[in-house]
Amino acid sequence: MHQAYNVQSILKQGVQIESIAAYGNHVILGTRSGQLIMYSVDESGVDMRMFNKNFSRKPITQMEVIAAENLLFVLTDNLIQVCDIGRLESNFAFLHSSADTKGCTLFTMDVDSQTSTTGEVATFIRVCCAIRRRLVFFFWKKDKLDSLQLSIELSDVPKTLCWVGHAVCVGYKDEYVVYDISCNTPKKHDLFLTSSSVSRDPCICLIRNNMLGISKDKYLVIVDPSQYKSKENDGSATSVDEVHPGRMESQNSLPPLLWSSPLLDLVWDDPFAVGRVNNAIEVRSLVGKDTLVQSIPELEKTRFLVHADQGTIFAAATSELWCIRQVEIPIQRQQLLQQKKFQLAIEVTKISNEPAEDKAQTIRQIHMLYAKELFTNKEFSAAMKEFERAAIDPYDVIRLFPNLVPEPKPGTEDSTVPVSTAPQLEDGDLENAYLALIEFLALARQREVVKLRDTKSSSKSLLEIIDTTLLKCYLQTNDSLVAPLLRLNQCHLEESEKTLKKHNKISELIILYQMKGKHKEALKLLQEQAGIEGSVLQGRKRTIRYLQELGSDHLALIFEFADWVIKENPEEGLSIFTDKLIEVESLPRAKVLDFLISKHKSLIIPYLEHLITEWSDTNTLRHNVLIKQYREKVQRLLVQQEKGEEVPELKPLRAKLYKMLEESNVYSPDRVLEEFPTNVLLEERALILGRLKKHDKVIAIYIHVRGDVAKARAYADANYENDKTIFQTLVKTIMVPPTEPIYEGVALHPDFSPEVNRKVLLELLNTYAVKIDPIEIFQFLPDDMTMTELEKYMDKAVRQKLADKHHMQMMCGLLQAESNRLEAALQAKRAISFELNENSVCPECKKRFPSQSAFVRYPNGQIVHLSCHDRIARAAAQQ
């Protein structure tokens, strides 16, 4: 305990005190005989300021002071009267008496002061009166009490009342209830009994201006009235009516406060609760384990307690009056710090009149002392919360853990780091300390990141220290958090590297290297671990994924370490360049292709196939290269086949080449043709020649080399729209067989050389007669071919010619008729005339037409200026 208050005896006289009120250094006594007396108490002594001997014929049972308005509300003869205390000479001048309060046995008040935008302060006063078994509400309007049109029926006569905001707490002889008056219909909430065993008078006090302090047995229960406020959306109150009274205490943030005996009266003088018990006045604190601050047994006769001002309380017995004043804050603080009651020292410092900066610095120092005391007592979580409140440098907290502080480099000594005075911690305590430190550093990290982002005032080195320390703590407590921490990329490289190697965290070490841009070190480590049996990094998958995530900025490094992966498993290695990842797709494909051509030729075809089929690559060069790779491989397989070897892959590969030449519109046919052989792959060659529109050579391959009339006809059909003479080329190829092979080393087909195949010729002539001009082919027909053989062809061809001529004549006639119509229409338009003189007005701008001005005539005959027409046209275009 420490001495928080001094007691000063003020009066010892014969008046019988029935009630008491106070404000500032003034105390007002209400006597049993109806007198009102005001005293002013200061260091020099006591002075009577007002005295009204005949204020009432009945006892003054209750008084409340509204200092801001200089009003005194007095309850006497079961009626509330209001008097003025602003003028000393008035001696409690009577202002108002409300007949509506007749029958009032006690009352409570709610006072709210609001400042307007102009700086004027308005005070709103509301009064709640207990009139028998009913609560009636009033408000002070100018100079009288007006009804709020609100009343609440009660189950019993109340013994005490307390009003805070939206809630009115009622104390009966056996229980407490709260009424929520914020909704249209007041909502009742049962709290708990006044006592668990015997009947006791209730006691309620306002704590910290917004909490209710309610007495129950030997306890003071702190109740938050906001939990009983009705929900605004649905109009229903919080469901607490059904809550068991025994659980009510646990719903509040502050635990019940134990007293030596049941409370008889109570006032709140921040930060103390001052209560009247059986044999003394007790001063208690809401913080700390030992709540008793001071006991004042000399005031055991006290009947009344009233709070006047911060640090000033008045106590009264039947005919005695005392002033209880707080001891000066610095003296209290010194006593509390000596007793290691740091929490209470902080509370009393908060209410001191010291300058704000000095007060904040003092509170910070007390938090520091309290945190170190808690840490010494191994209450690590609470210690870290105090360090947080003290806004301590995180590095100072880290230094409490010598094994977390970075070791100095060999040959150097860091004299700026003092030796920690914290106790040596065992394994169990050390883990708890680490967990508390993690929570502290996580909050510190959030603050530093915000500073760094918003104001750029934070130091990155502090973030490095915090993250490196968190890394060490995670390794001791929860190593699953190591990898996410490393990805934040703020850990110190060398210190973290050493720590991870010490704990054999190879996978996490890879993440550290990756985030710090040490990719070569990471890839070397991955290559080493890939072949180690039982390693978490055994195999190639982690290396492949790492290389895929590097991106084009590290292409040389990708090629360097992709080499060993491809050598071990070409298929897996190729995935480095073909997986569906943005980084992989953005790699420069030309350089990747050069790498494969120079070192891994077997992967050229699958790589190019992936680019073209999966990624729809349209680069001409890569299409050309793929065709070249197909062709070269097919040629090698043909050579092997000629030697009698089995080559099962020849057919599917040649099909790929054929499909590529047939379907791709990207490759360059002239460049591909330059390297294409003339003695093999002639069908593929025909596809290339077809792209070059060399129809005669294509048809020659189909007819004279392959003897495939069907393909020749299909080719001619496909190209007829672009070349109307292609069927003439087809029959000419058959009618004029070559005497020598068209390609060296390639034999001519016997069905079409050296003699003309009349059967095929006549079939083509008869089938495609309308597409073959007889004039163009007659000179190439065999001399011995008779007209009888050509009768069917000639009949169709001549009919087609006549039909074409007739169609031409009809078109000429129609076109001539249309020409005549248009000529007549033109002449009719030319015959239109109109007059434009100095009296003509533009219908758009209402202005006249000056001489030689440009104008536009509409089909409806309207004439406007050219500029007006342009403006109308622009407006129409914008709509």
**Alpha carbons 330 and 332: distance in angstroms, whole number:** 5
pLDDT of residue 570: 93
Mean pLDDT of each 10-residue bin along the chain, 879 residues long: 88 85 92 90 85 89 90 92 87 88 92 82 89 91 87 90 90 90 87 81 87 89 86 44 39 77 90 91 88 89 90 90 90 89 88 88 90 87 87 85 70 44 72 86 84 66 84 86 85 87 88 89 91 86 92 93 93 93 93 94 94 94 95 93 90 94 94 91 93 93 90 92 91 87 85 82 88 86 82 86 91 95 90 84 89 85 91 88
Tell me the two tokens of residue 188: 């009742």
Evaluate the CA torsion angle 811, 814, 820, 821 in order and state its sign: negative
Joined tokens for residue 716: 């001619």
> Phi, psi (5° rounding) for residue 279?
-120, 10
Q: Which residue has the tokens 């440009």?
A: 854
> If you ran DSSP here, which 8-state letter would residue 545 be given?
H
What span, in angstroms and rounded, lies between the C-alpha atoms of 462 and 392?
13
Decide: 735 and 780 in contact? Cβ < 8 Å: yes
For the CA atoms of the chain, what is the radius of gyration?
53
pLDDT at 250: 41
SS3 label, residue 143 = coil
First-to-final CA distance of the chain: 87
Give the CA diameter of the chain: 163
From the list 688, 636, 626, the residue with the least C-alpha distance to 661 is: 688
Please confirm whether the linkage preceding 271 is cis (ω < 30° from 0).
yes
Q: What's the confidence (pLDDT) of residue 828?
A: 86
Please give the structure tokens belonging to residue 802. 């006549």
CA nearest neighbour of 473 among 460, 491, 488: 491
Please say whether the dihedral angle defined by the alpha carbons of residues 136, 27, 39 and 299, taken in this order, is positive or negative: positive
User: What pLDDT is attached to residue 422?
Assistant: 61
Cα 623 to Cα 668: distance, rounded to the nearest angstrom: 8
Query: In the numeric block, which tokens belong to residue 45?
Result: 């002594």
User: What are the CA-CA distances from residue 293 to residues 256, 278, 308 (Å)?
Assistant: 16, 17, 20
- Please check whether residue 848 is in contact with residue 839, taking contact to mean a CB–CB distance below 8 angstroms: yes
Describe the crossing of helices 682-691 and 650-663 by its angle, rounded to 10 degrees: 10
> Which long-range CB contacts under 8 A does 359-368 form with residues at least 24 apart?
362/333, 364/390, 364/391, 365/390, 366/333, 366/337, 366/342, 367/342, 368/392
Confidence (pLDDT) at 571: 93
Kindly report, residue by residue over 536-558, the tens digit of the pLDDT: 888 899 999 999 999 999 999 99
Q: Where are the domains of the chain?
A: 693-832, 834-878
The pLDDT of residue 315 is 93
pLDDT at 833: 85
Q: For 294, which DSSP code?
A: E
What's the CA gap between 123 and 121, in Å, rounded? 7
Q: What is the pLDDT of residue 418?
A: 45
pLDDT at position 821: 95
Q: How far is 826 from 822, CA to CA, in rounded Å?
A: 6
pLDDT at 55: 87
CA dihedral for 664, 669, 673, 675, sign (positive or negative): negative
